[in-house]
Amino acid sequence: MKKLSFIFLSAVLVLSSCVSKKKFVKEQNRVKALQSDSVGTHSSLNQCNLQNAGLKKEKAGLETDKTGLEKGKADAEKNLQNLSSSSQTEIENSKMTIADQAKRLKDLQTLIQSQKDILTKLKKTMADALINFKPDELSVELKEGRLYVSLQEKLLFKSGSAAVDPKGKEALQTLASVLNTTPDISIMIEGHTDNVPVSGKYEDNWSLSTARAASIVRILTIDNKVDPHTIIASGRAEFYPVADNTSVDGKAKNRRTEIILSPNLKELFKLLNQ
């Protein structure tokens, strides 16, 4: 019995020792697993901390960018407001400029039309006054914005002479009576010849054409009281023909004196220079 009891107790102790050793090994393995999990968790935690720090830094950068963008937006809105105000002012000024230009253009058109009306009326008055003279002696024509009274040589002068004949003086007296009742008219007296060289008193056709223009100026201003400040005398010789100098009839047409009447352009230039 004692022997059996010893064997039983020994068996129990052996079994108990085996069970404890397995449990110990199991616990050791569990501890190792926990330690491994702890290391992994700490590693993950460190990575999370690093990511968190990076995200905080990125957030701070984004907030700085946001502040900069908000400031830029405010500045842009302010600049846009200033630009809008400036543009509005420019538009208003432009409207005023356009209105001024439109008024100036209208005034210019009115002035030009007024000058056309003056010349048209003057042409009729001049033609009516000179109606007793033949068409081959003189003509009245509107051309290039000016009124041309063209007097042929046979009405005014003998060949090669600058002395005005009595019938020519009569025509000039009639013409002067119209000029003296027409204010603000500029008068150009142009002498013209054919291409035949002159001989005798005058050196050339330049001298003859200029002398003829000067003779007419004297008759208009001295004998008929036309304002000398409104008259210019010039000689064109043979260089501005109105007909072919190869024929007798053409030469006769070229030997002429033109009295060219223009409205005073002082007001027109004043308006253009504004």
CATH of the domain at 264: 3.30.1330.60
Assigned token pair, 176: 């002067």
Q: Is residue 43 part of a domain?
A: no
d(CA 80, CA 206): 72
Q: Is residue 222 part of a domain?
A: yes
Residues 122 and 147: beta-carbon distance below 8 Å: yes
User: What pLDDT is attached to residue 93?
Assistant: 67
Residues 207 and 200: beta-carbon distance below 8 Å: no
Range of the domain at 192: 111-273
Phi, psi for residue 188 in degrees, rounded to 5: -115, 125
Assigned token pair, 58: 């990125």
Residues 149 and 124: beta-carbon distance below 8 Å: no
Q: Is residue 39 part of a domain?
A: no
DSSP annotation of 229 = G
User: Considering the chain, what percentage of its residues have pLDDT values greater than 90?
Assistant: 48
- Which H helix or E strand runs over 205? helix 205-218
Assigned token pair, 237: 């010789």
DSSP 58-125: HHHHHHHHHHHHHHHHHHHHHHHHHHHHHHHHHHHHHHHHHHHHHHHHHHHHHHHHHHHHHHHHHHHH
Mean pLDDT of 153-163: 95
Top pLDDT among 98 and 240 is at 240
User: What pLDDT is attached to residue 2?
Assistant: 57
Identity of the highest mean pLDDT range in 71-75, 108-112, 250-254:
250-254
Residues 230 and 251: beta-carbon distance below 8 Å: no
pTM here is 0.61
Assigned token pair, 148: 């041309």
Residues 161 and 205: beta-carbon distance below 8 Å: no
**Using one digit for the tens of pLDDT, what is the confidence trace for 66-91?**
787 777 777 777 766 666 666 677 76
Q: Is residue 189 part of a domain?
A: yes
**Using one digit for the tens of pLDDT, what is the confidence trace for 17-53?**
555 677 767 777 777 777 777 777 777 777 778 777 8
Closest CA to 137 of 252, 261, 262: 252
User: What pLDDT is attached to residue 105?
Assistant: 74
Calculated CA dihedral for residues 19, 20, 24, 30, nearest 10 degrees: 50
d(CA 89, CA 110): 31
User: What pLDDT is attached to residue 206?
Assistant: 97
- Three-class secondary structure of residue 41 per DSSP: helix
State the residue for tokens 């008068």. 187
Q: Is residue 180 part of a domain?
A: yes
- The edge-to-edge listing of strands for the beta sheet with 185-191 is 138-143, 146-152, 256-263, 185-191, 231-235
Residues 242 and 254: beta-carbon distance below 8 Å: yes
Mean pLDDT of the chain: 83
Q: Is residue 127 part of a domain?
A: yes
Q: How confident is the model at residue 224 (pLDDT cuts 50, 70, 90)?
A: very high
Q: How confident is the model at residue 208 (pLDDT cuts 50, 70, 90)?
A: very high
Q: Is residue 65 part of a domain?
A: no
d(CA 242, CA 150): 11
Q: Is residue 12 part of a domain?
A: no
How many structural domains is the chain composed of? 1
